[in-house]
Amino acid sequence: MLWSAWTAAAMAAEPVIIHYPAFPQGSETRFQPYLDLLLEAVEHTNAKYGPATLRPSARLMNEARYLQELQQGNLDVIWSSTTEERERQMLAVRIPLDKGLLGYRIALIPADRQTAVAGVRDLAGLRRLRVGQGLGWGDVQLYRYNGIKVTEAGYEQLFSMLDKKRFDLFPRGIGEVFPEFDSRAPIYPGLAVDKTLLLYYPWPYYFFFNREHGAELAKRIEEGLRLMLKDGSYDRFFQQHYGAAIRRAELDNRTLIRLENPMLPKNTPLDDARLWYRPGR
């Protein structure tokens, strides 16, 4: 039962089932924090809306697939970066899931290319390198818009290709790069976390809902997130999931290179006090 039938379930005192996209093994570091945040937002609103249970889809889904499934009414909620097109097609709760942290990128690189990467000081230098990105990822268009060469492949395949030096950089979110490296370094010993660059582009990640049937659930999740912001649990969540990675990144020792995001909706609230800003920015 999808969320559009939530009223009948509530009247019957049964937990409402909220369907979200199942993600492949190996993607836990990317998506589990969003699922944890969703669950906490739901729990913050149980007193008002009644109990709810989160249930993954029967099939594993990449981003392109779950965007489509949500619009077709086969899912209740997804998480994604925002664009003009997505906000027209779907209903966004415009509270960033990670305080905007995903827009700050640190790259996985072949270990023996650290010296070459360290020589990059600006966008012109970055354009001499090639980045790897997943098939269908929105970042692909962004990098190409900024004049950067991109190699696309499946998510897991990217680690193998980088190990074989098929491209130069695999930019990852600050909260993603270290768990991904730690879990895959034994398999790909030629990989390293770059020590010198920090790429930034505005990349707000939101919960999205079906525009026709998802308004009630979107209202509930937004209320839950705002309650978390008010009682401090959102900040505690952020520190629990990302604090160690931010410290490990040693951000003030990196060269910051800014990229433009041509897909960003014009009225996206980027100066919101809830957003995270690195020291010295």
pLDDT (tens digit, 9 = 90+) per residue, 42-81?
A: 999 999 999 999 999 999 988 888 999 999 999 999 999 9
Residue 44 φ then ψ, to 5°: -70, -15
Q: What is the pLDDT of residue 271?
A: 66
The pairing of beta strand 130-134 with beta strand 16-22: unpaired
Choice between 155 and 7, residue whose per-residue pLDDT is larger: 155
Average pLDDT on 252-268 reads 93
Flag whether pLDDT at 117 surpasses 90.
yes
pLDDT digits (tens, 9 = 90+) for 124-160: 999 999 999 998 888 999 999 999 999 999 999 999 9
pLDDT of 281 reads 47
pLDDT at 247 over 70: yes
Average pLDDT over residues 177-196: 96
Q: What is the mean pLDDT of residues 177-192?
A: 95
- Report the C-alpha gap between 139 and 102 in whole angstroms: 11
CA distance 158 to 140: 14
Mean predicted confidence (pLDDT) in 161-177: 96
Of all residues in the chain, the percent with pLDDT exceeding 90 is: 82
Share of the chain above pLDDT 70, in %: 91
Query: Average pLDDT, stretch 89-96?
Result: 95
Residues 14-20 have a mean pLDDT of: 92
pLDDT band at 6 (very low <50, low <70, confident <90, very high): low
Spatial contact of 108 and 162, defined as CB atoms under 8 Å apart? yes
List, for residues 198-213, the tens digit of each pLDDT value: 999 999 999 999 999 9
Q: Is the pLDDT of residue 273 over 60?
A: no
Q: What is the pLDDT of residues 63-74, one digit of tens each?
A: 888 999 999 999
Using the predicted structure, report yes or no on whether residue 280 has a pLDDT greater than 50.
Answer: no
Residue burial 96-109, b: 16+ Cβ < 10 Å; e: rest: bbbbbbbbbbbbbb
* Mean pLDDT (whole number) for 225-250: 95
Does residue 261 have a pLDDT over 70? Answer: yes
Query: How would you classify the pairing of strands 255-258 and 197-200?
Result: parallel
Spell out the residues 6+ positions from residue 275 whose beta carbon is closer than 8 angstroms to its own: 96, 99, 100
Flag the least confident range among 26-30, 99-103, 241-245, 270-274: 270-274
